[in-house]
């Protein structure tokens, strides 16, 4: 990815090329590399590197944005020219805000040189170590090991890593990330693990490979159980899946427009008293970008304290409308979505998955959830299925694997039924625990 100095040169050139009333420019991208394997054999090595430049100009109350992959002088000038032409033809935005003034964000050290330089052979070594336990047990595996720099994602997304505007604002964020997923297959059963870290060296692939193989073997010959409400032990990955839907409700614009499950409930007790949730990009497990899509420094926001909804996230437009301060969670302008809480931290506990199992008379251990979909946004009801390691727990022990189940569950209800939590783990860029909860609603059983 571009260094801080290189990024500033490109952005300064974009600002210098514009004679609009105001100009903003940001850079996105970086590098993403991946080694994929199946049937215990590496079958794919891919790498992508690129930088996008996005220029937004303001002319009176009109604004427009143009994005390009060209960062050479002619490409920069062309982007500015097209943005100006588009702005002149656009409608006026009566509530369009002036660009923000400079305000230094906190420093986040999310970059690891060893992770950035990970080679295909390095990733192959990680894969070999990870699949070894399954190979020894005669099982098949599939998965990937990846590394990236900047804000280049696995689907080619090009998130912001530097932003500047004509008022003197300049922000830069350098980050790396390594990701790992492995599924171990044992005929009619499977076991799955996931891990990510800013440092590849902190992902214990061998230990995780053993866990996946063990789950695949223990869940062989799965038995069907009747759907119904059960005590569940949700591992951190399953909790992270659900937190994605939970996070969107804290968007202040959605709350103001009556489209959030929290509309009219700020300041009220909505969840159990043992639930605390922050949006915190500075959390050591997250280390997220410390500024938003307009360059506003991101604040730590206490969303839930002891079950009470305490705070929301605001972009500049919604904050101005409601007489609040922006929290630095806005998206690039123009947008109609409001603010996005992207660094969810749900407070953990001191229990472990093993201790939860020992304390459970009858219940279900869930490794992960998949094909999750929002059913009712106002009641926060989610549906989906279990996958890759679902077990019946009885008398404090894992009894046997069970066939997967479809669930239909209100997250509000779920977070009022939590009895214990593990320490936090990094999942999907969030910091979340595993939880033990009562009355989880399973509606049907699958054939596998």
* Domain boundaries along the sequence of the chain: 4-184, 215-242+349-445
Averaged pLDDT, 178-196: 97
Averaged pLDDT, 74-101: 97
User: Residue 356: which region, alpha, beta or left (left: phi > 0; alpha: psi -120 to 50)?
Assistant: alpha
The pLDDT > 90 percentage for the chain reads 94
Confidence of residue 151 (pLDDT cuts 50, 70, 90): confident
pLDDT at 154 over 80: no
Separation of alpha carbons 244 and 386, rounded Å: 17
Burial class of residue 355, CB neighbours in 10 A (0-12, 13-18, 19+) = middle
Those residues whose C-beta lies under 8 Å from the C-beta of residue 113, and which sit 6 or more positions away, are none
Q: What is the pLDDT at residue 428?
A: 86
Confidence of residue 1 (pLDDT cuts 50, 70, 90): confident
pLDDT at 226 over 80: yes
Q: List pLDDT tens digits, range 296-325.
A: 999 999 999 999 999 999 999 999 999 999
Separation of alpha carbons 238 and 236, rounded Å: 5
SS (H, E, C) 187-256: CCCEEEEEEEECCHHHCCHHHHHHHHHHHHHHCCCCECCCCEEEEEEECHHHHHHHHHHHHHCCEHHHHH
Separation of alpha carbons 388 and 141, rounded Å: 12
Cα–Cα nearest to 372, from 175, 239, 193: 239
Per the structure block, which two tokens stand in for 158? 């090009």
Q: What is the pLDDT at residue 158?
A: 66
The pLDDT > 70 percentage for the chain reads 98
pLDDT at 156 over 60: no
Query: Do strands 397-401 and 381-394 pair parallel, antiparallel, or not at all (unpaired)?
Result: antiparallel
SS3 139: coil
Separation of alpha carbons 217 and 371, rounded Å: 24
Q: What is the pLDDT at residue 105?
A: 86
Averaged pLDDT, 389-405: 98
Question: What's the whole-model pTM score?
Answer: 0.95
Separation of alpha carbons 358 and 351, rounded Å: 11
Confidence of residue 24 (pLDDT cuts 50, 70, 90): very high
Q: What is the pLDDT at residue 308?
A: 98
Q: What is the mean pLDDT of the chain?
A: 96
Cα–Cα nearest to 99, from 294, 343, 303: 294
pLDDT at 442 over 90: yes
Q: What is the pLDDT at residue 132?
A: 98
Q: What is the pLDDT at residue 69?
A: 95
Averaged pLDDT, 343-358: 98
CATH number assigned to the domain covering 4-184: 3.30.2290.10
Q: How many CB atoms lie within 10 A of CB 252?
A: 26
pLDDT at 155 over 60: no
Q: How many CB atoms lie within 10 A of CB 412?
A: 18
**Beta partners for 147?**
33, 178
**Beta partners for 279?**
301, 344
pLDDT at 172 over 90: yes
Separation of alpha carbons 11 and 52, rounded Å: 11
Averaged pLDDT, 222-239: 97
Q: What is the pLDDT at residue 310?
A: 98
Asked if 307 and 274 touch (Cβ cutoff 8 Å), the reply is: yes
Per the structure block, which two tokens stand in for 374? 């929002």
Q: Distance of CA 203 to CAs 87, 198, 200, 338, 444, Å?
A: 47, 10, 6, 35, 35
Separation of alpha carbons 357 and 383, rounded Å: 24
pLDDT at 157 over 70: no
Asked if 348 and 311 touch (Cβ cutoff 8 Å), the reply is: no
Averaged pLDDT, 206-215: 98
């Amino acid at each position: 990815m571009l260094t801080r100095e290189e990024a500033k040169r490109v952005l300064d050139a974009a600002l210098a090329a514009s004679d609009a009333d105001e100009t903003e420019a940001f850079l996105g991208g970086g590098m993403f590399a991946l080694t994929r394997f199946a049937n215990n054999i590496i079958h794919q090595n891919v790498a992508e590197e690129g930088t996008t430049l996005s220029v937004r100009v303001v002319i009176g109350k009109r604004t427009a944005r143009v994005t390009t992959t060209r960062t050479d002088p002619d490409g920069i000038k062309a982007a500015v020219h097209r943005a100006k032409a588009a702005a002149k033809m656009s409608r006026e935005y009566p509530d369009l805000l002036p660009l923000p003034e400079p305000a230094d964000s906190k420093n986040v050290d999310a970059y690891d040189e060893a992770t950035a330089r990970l080679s295909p052979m390095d990733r192959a070594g990680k894969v070999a170590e990870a699949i070894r336990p399954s190979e020894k047990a005669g099982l098949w595996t599939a998965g990937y090991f990846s590394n990236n720099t900047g804000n280049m994602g696995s689907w080619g997304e090009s998130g912001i890593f530097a932003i500047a505007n004509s008022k003197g604002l300049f922000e830069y964020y350098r980050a790396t990330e390594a990701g790992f997923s492995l599924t171990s297959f044992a005929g009619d059963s499977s076991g799955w693990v996931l891990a990510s870290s800013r440092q590849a060296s902190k992902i214990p692939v061998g230990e995780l490979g053993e866990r996946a193989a063990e789950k695949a073997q223990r869940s062989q010959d799965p038995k069907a159980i009747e759907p119904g409400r059960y005590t569940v032990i949700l591992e951190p990955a399953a909790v992270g899946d659900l937190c994605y839907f939970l996070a969107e409700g804290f968007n202040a614009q959605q709350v103001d427009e009556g489209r959030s499950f929290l509309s009219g409930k700020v300041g009220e007790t909505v969840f159990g008293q043992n639930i605390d949730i922050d949006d915190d990009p500075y959390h050591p497990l997250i280390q997220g970008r410390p500024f938003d899509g307009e360059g506003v420094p991101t604040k730590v926001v206490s969303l839930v304290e002891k079950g009470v909804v305490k705070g929301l996230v605001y972009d500049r437009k919604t904050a101005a409308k409601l007489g609040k301060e922006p929290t630095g969670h806005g998206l690039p302008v123009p947008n109609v979505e409001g603010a996005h809480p992207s660094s969810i931290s749900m407070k953990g506990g001191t229990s472990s998955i093993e201790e939860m199992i020992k304390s459970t008379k009858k219940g279900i251990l869930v490794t992960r959830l998949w094909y999750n979909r929002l059913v009712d946004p106002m009641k926060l009801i989610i549906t989906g299925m279990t996958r890759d390691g679902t077990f019946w727990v009885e008398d404090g022990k894992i009894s046997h694997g069970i066939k997967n189940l479809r669930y239909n569950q209100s997250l509000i209800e779920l977070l009022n039924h939590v009895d214990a939590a593990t320490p936090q783990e990094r999942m999907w860029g969030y910091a979340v625990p595993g939880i033990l909860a009562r009355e989880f609603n399973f509606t049907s059983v699958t054939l596998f």
